[in-house]
Amino acid sequence: MASFEDVMPSAADVKAAFGDRGVGDTDRVVAVLVSGRAVERSTWSDEVEVSETDFDRLLDEDAPTPDVNDFNGAKFRALDPRSRGAKVRRCTECLYRPENGRCLRCNGTGKLQVGSDDWVNCSGCIEGIALPCSVCNGTRRAVLVKIAFGEDVVRRFAHIFLPELPFPLREPLTLFFKNRTSVPDVLSIDLRDDFAAADAYRGRRSRAEVKGHRADAALALARNYVDRIHRLPRMAAVEAGAFAWPMVVGAFAGDADPSVVVVRDELGSVCRFG
């Protein structure tokens, strides 16, 4: 598939798909497919006491740039900007520890009594000397800060927007596009482009076109869909792609109403619906 035209059903494809009954009026249309990935970022903050070393590290750390390709999801912590000027003070975690490090749990003996005769080693110390404070690591100096904890989750999204088509054709076509394993790159479009049809005869209402193919409101709906994802709360990054997939809608010779759609799949095989 080297170009948009390679995916377009040819006149011969259409004729073959209609068979003996013959081809009546035909109309070229596009389905607009949107797919992408977004990073949903949740954060919550908490006031915590950290060591001076941790504080210095936090001053250098920023929340990571959201990455739509990181399916493992990033977990991070970042200093609340208001805490950048926080002052070092006495660590409250070890406020009531004796200066000599005597373990208060076993009263410095290193043993705890279990039952009437049994003794076990105290888990809070080594031979009566308490383990270093888990906050200040024994320096007795700590900083009270607000930390934002965050988590990124990558979400995939996809939607199919069809032009105006006879109702019975909509469901099989939706299914057809849902089942595609890939979308030819040559069908890629930029939703920010102006697709308004130049044809004054048809009016500019919702008559958007892609390479002469009727898209109706599908382009505007696709654009709204992507805009809505951008505006969702907590969306830290959005990467979306749009594609216009050409089809031919037609009526059998002698019929007034279109009832058949001819479309090529990603491998070039011609499919007929209706």
Residue 125 or 162: which CB sits closer to Zn ion? 125
- Per CB under 5 A, which region of 2-10, 59-67, 94-102, 203-211 contacts Zn ion? 94-102
Residue 99 beta carbon to Zn ion: minimum distance, rounded to whole angstroms: 13
Contacts of 212 (CB under 8 A, 6+ apart): 28
Residue 87: phi and psi, rounded to 5, are -100, 150
Complex with Zn ion: residue 39 or 106, whichever CB lies closer: 106
- Residue from 91, 165, 236, 247 touching Zn ion (CB under 5 A): that is 91
Q: Please state the closest distance from residue 55 (CB atom) to Zn ion, in A.
A: 13
The gap from C-alpha 98 to its chain's centroid, in whole angstroms, comes to 52
Task: Name the segment binding Zn ion (CB under 5 A); options: 4-12, 88-96, 145-153, 219-227.
Answer: 88-96
Structure tokens belonging to residue 39: 């990073």
Tokens of 226: 């992507």
Q: Which of 93, 164, 265, 266 binds Zn ion (CB under 5 A)?
A: 93
Q: How many residues bind Zn ion (CB under 5 A)?
A: 12
Quick one: 132 or 168, whose CB is closer to Zn ion? 132
Q: To the nearest whole angstrom, how small is the minimum distance from the Cβ of residue 141 to Zn ion?
A: 8
Q: Between 105 and 155, name the residue whose CB sits nearer to Zn ion.
A: 105
CA distance 166 to 33: 19
Question: Minimum CB separation from Zn ion for residue 129, in Å?
Answer: 8
Q: How far is the CB of 98 from Zn ion (least distance, A)?
A: 12
- If one asks whether residue 94 binds Zn ion (CB under 5 A), the answer comes out as yes
CB of 54 to Zn ion, least distance (A): 12
Residue listed under structure tokens 């059998």? 252
116-155 positions binding Zn ion, by CB under 5 A: 122, 124-125, 133, 135-136
Q: Are 23 and 255 in contact (CB under 8 A)?
A: no
CB-based burial of residue 81 (10 Å sphere; 0-12 exposed, 13-18 middle, 19+ buried)?
exposed
Contact predicate 136/144, CB 8 Å: no
d(CA 39, CA 32): 23
Residue 121 corresponds to which tokens in the numbers above? Answer: 């080693």
- Pairwise CA distance, residues 188 & 36, whole Å: 13
The Cα 187–Cα 224 span in angstroms is: 20
Nearest C-alpha neighbor of 49 from the set 77, 82, 86, 85: 86
Binding-site member from 15, 77, 102, 105 for Zn ion (CB under 5 A): 105
Q: What gap in Å lies between CA 252 and CA 45, rounded to an integer?
A: 65
* Cα end-to-end span (Å), the chain: 25
* Stretch in the footprint of Zn ion (CB under 5 A) among 14-22, 65-73, 102-110, 171-179: 102-110
Binding of Zn ion by 50 (CB under 5 A): no
Among 17, 103, 219, 238, binds Zn ion (CB under 5 A): 103
Least separation in angstroms between CB 101 and Zn ion: 10
Interface residues toward Zn ion, by CB under 5 A: 91, 93-94, 103, 105-106, 122, 124-125, 133, 135-136
